[in-house]
Chains A and B, each alone.
Chain A
Amino acid sequence: AQSVSQHNHHVILSEAASLELGCNYSYGGTVNLFWYVQYPGQHLQLLLKYFSGDPLVKGIKGFEAEFIKSKFSFNLRKPSVQWSDTAEYFCAVNAPMNYGGSQGNLIFGKGTKLSVKP
């Protein structure tokens, strides 16, 4: 079955620690990949996206992600987290239209909650 897996349900870090959140997907062929962030009580905001080209993608607020096609992965990284990064992070994949008839809908992982201790 088509799926997006996020490895960690809850990550707790101290400020200035480095962050890496895992994301794997199970689609074949061409994919588009996204990371969204949801701050407490707020809506989803796009952090970064990958459609094609350089597999290392830089997003807002110092986040970056690397697409590794051979590993079906799109891990999110940040060298030094801040207390304000406390939020829930969602990986999402666009299933191509010719794969399962999904019409291009975004499929989300279950999310990773990040808590940053000051």
Chain B
Amino acid sequence: NAGVTQTPKFQVLKTGQSMTLQCAQDMNHEYMSWYRQDPGMGLRLIHYSVGAGITDQGEVPNGYNVSRSTTEDFPLRLLSAAPSQTSVYFCASSYSIRAGSNTIYFGEGSWLTVV
């Protein structure tokens, strides 16, 4: 049982490059989300999805794009990387659309540096 799997774990990008952070879960969870973690800021929600084909913006969506074509996968795309997007990114999933009614499971994180 793999849980929530994120790739890559580490990535260095140049300003202006694009890339995709992959997230996959094997628990048949409806709800998936992406957070970024910055020192002193806690975790802030970027985008989330309550089911295949449904996505919505969180607190800090600018510069990021998501899609949910399958239940299992929820990739996060950086369209044109900026140094302000240097952060640790966490993917999370939960069984129910009422995310807090069930435990949210987190991936191991992706460390992204934009130079």
Measured CB to CB, the residues of A under 8 A from B are 9, 31-32, 34, 36, 42-44, 46, 49, 51, 90, 92-97, 103-111
Of A90, A93, A95, the residue contacting B43 (CB under 8 A) is: A90
Q: Are B44 and A97 in contact (CB under 8 A)?
A: no
B53 CB-CB contact with A under 8 Å: no
Task: State how many angstroms separate the Cβ of B93 from the closest Cβ of chain A.
Answer: 12
1/0 per residue, CB under 8 A from A, across B78-115: the answer is: 00000000000010100011111101101111000000
Offer 16 A-B interface pairs, CB within 8 angstroms, sorted by A: A34-B104, A43-B106, A43-B107, A44-B43, A94-B98, A94-B99, A97-B98, A103-B48, A103-B97, A104-B99, A104-B101, A105-B33, A106-B92, A106-B100, A108-B35, A110-B42
Q: Are B40 and A32 in contact (CB under 8 A)?
A: no
Instruction: Give the size range of B's interface with the partner.
Output: 20 to 34
- Given the interface contacts A43-B108, A43-B109, A94-B101, does A104 sit within 8 Å of B31 by beta carbon? yes
Nearest 3 CB-CB pairs, A to B? Answer: A94-B100, A32-B100, A104-B99
Q: Are A9 and B40 in contact (CB under 8 A)?
A: yes
Task: State how many angstroms separate the Cβ of B22 from the closest Cβ of chain A.
Answer: 16
Q: Are B44 and A108 in contact (CB under 8 A)?
A: yes
How far apart are the CA atoms of A41 and B67 in the complex, in Å? 28
Find residues 4-40 in chain B having any chain A CB closer than 8 Å to their own CB.
Answer: 31, 33, 35, 40
